[in-house]
Amino acid sequence: MFVVPTFHLTRTISVLARFRFLLGVFWASPYTLLGLLIGGIGLCFGGRVRIVGHTIEFYDGGTKWFIQQLPHGQFTLAFTLGHTILGQSAASLEVSRKHEAVHVAQYERWGPFMLPAYFLSSTFMWLAGRRFYRDNRFEREAYDANGGEHDS
């Protein structure tokens, strides 16, 4: 009688999932390092930091000031760089967490090409006479995942 050797399929899947996660972290790492630099400077000026899941969130103090200096920064709750999320406050991070998690996954997929692709999408939308932010394919994906919060 032929006996099929048993193996732990669950363990194999777990190892593959862990490898895929680590590959995504590495692929997104150039932007994560930039986020850590900005967030680290923000900490020196009264900012705060916390780890939530697989992300590092910086908020308040210098981080909030930095965000407010960006174009339309006063309307920006948070933004993502790799596995770092920079937010204006703890409350703004809570509100935008699902949306920003989609951007983290996008950084894992696109790696160092994420920001160029993001800006190209915005530029294309602007040249086509559409909204450069809300019609950007990356933002549409993030808003759709967060319940489809599109404005008209």
127 located within any domain: no
Q: Is residue 29 part of a domain?
A: yes
CA distance 112 to 85: 17
Domain range for 51 is: 11-111
| Segment 54-78, tens digit of pLDDT | 999 999 999 999 999 998 888 999 9
**Phi, psi of 148, deg, nearest 5:** 70, 40
* pLDDT value for 17: 86
Domain membership flag for residue 105: yes
User: Which of 91, 98, 106, 101 is CA-nearest to residue 148?
Assistant: 98
Judge whether 57 lies within some domain.
yes
* Calpha distance 94→15 (Å, rounded): 31
Residue type, 96: S
Upper half-sphere CA count for residue 134 (Cβ side, 13 Å): 8
Domain assignment of residue 99, yes or no? yes
- pLDDT at residue 152, as a whole number: 43
Q: What CA–CA distance (Å, rounded) separates 3 from 36? A: 53
- Count other C-beta atoms under 10 Å from residue 148's C-beta: 8
pLDDT in tens, 63-116: 999 999 998 888 999 999 999 999 999 999 999 999 999 999 999 999 999 999
Average of per-residue pLDDT across 37-43: 98
Asked if the structure places residue 48 within a domain, the reply is yes
Supply the pTM of this predicted model: 0.85
Q: How many domains does the structure of the chain reveal?
A: 1
The answer to the question of residue 50 being in a domain is yes
> CA angle, 102 as apex, 64 and 108 as ends, to 5°?
100
Residue 151 is assigned to a structural domain of this protein: no
